[in-house]
Structure 1
Amino acid sequence: MGVSAYLAAATPPRLAVGGITVAIPVLAVEQLGDVALGGLLAAAALGPSILAAPIVGAVLDRTHRPGVLMAGAGLVTAAAFTVAAFLGDLPVWSVAVALVIAGTAIPFLMGGLSSFVTEVIPDERRAYAIDALAYNLGAVAGPAAVAAATALGSARAATLLMAGSALLGAIATIPLRLRPLPGEPHGSMLATIAAGFRHIATHRPLAVVTTSGTVSQFGSGGLAIAAVALAVARTGDAAQGAIIVTAFALGGLLGALWNSASPPRFRPEVTMGVGFAATGVFTVLAALDVGTTWTIAAIGVSGLFTAASSAAMLLIRKQQSPPTLRSQVFTVGAGLRAAAAAAGAAVAGIAAGLGAEVLIVAIGLIWIASGAMLVAYPRSAEPIDR
């Protein structure tokens, strides 16, 4: 019951977030013929989450009613996406404001909800394997649902579908009956935020994992740009790039399904480091010019390792955080990864002139480097969350 209830609560909002970044640009083109505006509005939906993450985490660490906040965040997100669906009928500024508001609520549904998963699923390894599965399901199903809704109806219908998914997640959060994390934070809100940043920066196991996870997303963020560049260079068809990216997402989903059924029993830092490195190795191999099928297959295999390594990363965050700072550690970590992914996409776009193969290899090497960072993880580290 715990697994199904958690997936029902965690997957729909992550599907909505994954899909809205596709739906909004398409909607902007459909209604206003302005793709640049679509990009800006998509950034408005995600950008604020980076700034809101430490505040959201501190609030969740201090609240006595986390379930109410989670459900409320889902309702706010659903309302904001509903407003956004009427871009073209409503002023652009009102849609932008709505999406910014949604961006401040998103950390509750991503890192925030992750910080409570073991309250629903007691087995830590299984809990974070299921949480990684929810992320992967959202990442694959969100864009796919938008593509289908747009093809069968319109981008407005797709955006409303994402709003409905966020609403479904809000409703499904209620049966979880989330309780406050153990312990009572001391001091003011600012003191709690400062304590969270200090713990992330100075507690070596957490600092290593946070740095590695952030660096890996810098590489991941550039994959879509590199895939399109590679497709154009080799086939002249940019649409092939979408197939390459989809292969990575499907590989991640398959890996998540396998990992959720049978989580690895290695030390989590080993799983995380080896998984990141393996993703990098197969990404580098994808640069070999031996046919499109090889490229798609290699990228698909590279995605297989991401779920287990992400689940291990989430487990370490939990084990290396005192309960009074856990939500903040999760939301800040998620915010840093989101920022790194955005930066990676921007840098890949700027560096596209260097050549598609160079970009693919660079992305693979970044993944390998992020895995190698786990060598610095202290072997003597024991969980401190008890």
Structure 2
Amino acid sequence: MGVAGYLTAATPPRLAVGGIIVALPVLAVEQLGDVGVGGLLVAAALGPSIVAAPIVGAVLDRTRRPGAFVAGAGIVTAAAFTVAAFLGVVPAGVVALALVVAGIATPFVMGGLSSFVTEVIPEERRAYAIDALAYNLGAVAGPAAVAVAASFGSARVATLLMAGSALLGAIGTIPLRLRPVAGEPHASMLRTIAAGFRHIATHRPLAVITSSGTLSQFGAGGLAIAAVALSVQRGGDAGGGALIVTAFAIGGLLGALWNSARPPRFRPEVTMGVGFAATGAFTVLAALDIGTTWTIAAIGVSGLFTAASSAAMLLIRKQQSPPSLRSQVFTVGAGLRAAAAAAGAAVAGLAAGLGAEALIVAIGLVWIASGAMLVVYPRHAPAIDGTAT
């Protein structure tokens, strides 16, 4: 299937997740008049990943039919987002419960699918550049769809579009015919999970990049909430927040297109650290109140650096993981990032009254701190799977 087949399977579910974190706050304002509820719903959608991730990873490492699980997760997500679209008709508690179910399924279509990319695209750096491109394509199209729908006064339609995208991803997974990476399991499920956690926590290269990647998402998770709050504060239009998030996503897409064509040859930990820090610096600059155009432009530039740093992080995950634990390393890493994003969204929603500019600055500082953490990455760490770093 190659690049086109992988993008067809990987982009739609990431579009759905990227769009839903923007759609929910706008939908909450539209139906309930409360952006804080939107932040809590985003947290409900993303938070369960941290609990589900090790189990999902162990399942994918052990199953003979990983594709069936990935496709099934897409179907579950589509159903949950359909329920969420009727917030205001359906009680918020029921919507939150549906989003929790979607959050449990998320590791299958996010980190889980990433763990198989080199089985579809053999060259490592290109494979993870394409994987990062799939994330960024989804991140652009999702908020853009929400922005267009919100401009016509219907975040509900946007949420239904996200449900449809998740379903398309499930269908696109089938032709990939995903096959197991590891051999037959020789330990129980609990021992497999314990081995995965032990490897992530004690293997220094993985511990460093997992901590850095998780912290970065705590800031990133609050961006949609801060953008909506900033838009309301300056112009009174909640839908304008989607334009700010879309600018970030477009910057990420442009960076991803460049990165997929010309993957950097620097050590991956250098690419990751510098990229995170640069994203943070431009996010801080976006808080300056010198016009909407400036805010959108600065946020857009901040997104340029995310694809290369994310691809570098994914490459390190693969190189520093034995095949028997690879899916678990990817899903736990993705789950931690999703949980951090959920926490960031919840904190941003609760802190929205403190001032949108302050939230934007705090988000930028978190990105900078996550980049600085790569200073302690061990230089010239050998790859466990024998590939060159």
Residue 99 of structure 1 corresponds to which residue in structure 2?
99
Q: Could you tell me which residue of structure 1 aligns to residue 51 of structure 2?
A: 51
Query: SS at the partner of 2:187?
Result: coil
The aligned amino acid for 1:114 is S
TM-score (norm 1): 0.88
Q: Residue 108 of structure 2 corresponds to which residue in structure 1?
A: 108
Q: Secondary structure at the match of 2:382?
A: coil
| Matches for 1:214-229 after TM superposition, within 5 Å | 214-227=214-227
Pair 1:265–1:135, CA change in 2 (3 A): same
Flag the 1:16–1:296 CA change in 2: closer, same or farther, 3 A. closer
Output the CA distance in 2 between the equivalents of 1:150 and 1:9.
27
What amino acid is the match of 2:317? Answer: R
Residue matched to 1:160: 160
Give the drift of 1:272.
0.5
In structure 2, what is the equivalent of residue 285 of structure 1? 285
- C-alpha distance in 1, partners of 2:179/2:190? 23
CA contact (8 A) 1:61 1:181 kept: yes
Q: Which moved more, 1:341-350 or 1:1-10?
A: 341-350
TM norm structure 2: 0.88
Deviations 1:162-215 (A, max 9, x none): 222112111111111111013344321111111111111100000010011111
Q: Are positions 1:199 and 2:174 aligned together?
A: no
Distance in 2, matches of 1:40 and 1:127, equals 35
Aligned partner letter, 1:379: R
Per the alignment, residue 189 of structure 2 pairs with: 189
Answer whether contact 1:80 1:99 (CA < 8 A) is retained. Answer: yes
- Would the alpha carbon gap of residues 381 and 13 (structure 1) be closer, same or farther in structure 2, given more than 3 Å must change? same
Q: Which residue of 1 aligns with 2:342?
A: 342
Q: Relative to structure 1, is the Cα distance of residues 167 and 355 closer, same or farther in structure 2, using a 3 angstrom cutoff?
A: closer
In 1, Cα distance between equivalents of 2:304 and 2:270? 16
Within a 5 Å distance, the mapping from 1:270-349 to structure 2 comes to 270-288=270-288, 290-349=290-349
Q: Structure 1 residue 362: deviation in Å?
A: 3.4
Do 1:229 and 1:238's aligned partners in 2 also have CA atoms closer than 8 Å? no
Closer/same/farther in 2, CA of residues 20 and 367 from structure 1, 3 Å limit? closer
SS of equivalent residue, structure 1 residue 325: helix
By how many angstroms is 1:157 displaced?
Answer: 3.7
Query: Cα distance, 1:142 vs. partner?
Result: 1.4
SS of the equivalent of 2:47 reads helix
Paired amino acid for 2:202: T
Q: Which residue of 1 is the match for residue 175 of structure 2? A: 175
Partner of 2:368: 368
Deviation for aligned residue 1:105: 1.2
In 2 relative to 1, CA 298–111 (structure 1 residues): closer, same or farther, beyond 3 Å? Answer: same
* Aligned residue type for 1:203: H
- Name the CA distance, whole Å, in 2 between partners of 1:89 and 1:305: 40
1 or 2 for the larger relative contact order (CA 8 Å, sep ≥6)? 2
Cα distance in 2 between the residues matched to 1:291 and 1:32? 29
**1:173 partner letter:** T
Aligned to 1:143, the other structure's residue is in SS state: helix
What are the residue-to-residue correspondences of 1:8-87 with 2, within 5 Å?
8-24=8-24, 40-85=40-85
CA distance in 2, matches of 1:87, 1:244: 24
Taking a change above 3 Å as real, the CA distance of residues 315 and 376 of structure 1, as seen in their structure-2 partners, is same
Report what 2:265 is aligned to. Answer: 265
SS at match of 2:210: helix
Listed one character per residue, the Cα deviations across residues 137-170 of structure 1 (whole Å, up to 9, x for unaligned) are 1122113223434555854443332222112111
- C-alpha distance 141-314 of structure 1, shift in aligned 2 (>3 A): same
Instruction: Give deviations 1:350-380, integer Å, cap 9, x for gaps.
Output: 5556655544443333222211211111113
Name the aligned partner's letter for residue 4 of structure 1: A
Mapped to 2, the partners of 1:25 and 1:99 lie a distance apart of 14
Unaligned runs of 5+ in 2: none
CA distance in 2, matches of 1:47, 1:329: 18
RMSD of equivalent CA atoms: 2.8
SS in 2 for 1:264: coil
Q: What is the CA-CA distance between 1:65 and the residue it aligns to? A: 0.8
Structure 1 distance, partners of 2:39, 2:221, is 15
Does the Cα contact within 8 Å between 1:111 and 1:333 map onto a contact in 2?
yes
Q: Is the 8 A contact 2:61 2:324 kept in 1?
A: yes
- C-alpha displacement of 1:385: 2.3
Where does structure 1 lack aligned partners over 5 or more consecutive residues? Answer: none
How has the CA–CA distance of structure 1 residues 91 and 369 changed in structure 2, closer, same or farther, with 3 Å as cutoff? Answer: closer
Offset of residue 255 of structure 1: 0.8
Contact map agreement 1:46 1:103 (CA 8 A) in 2: yes
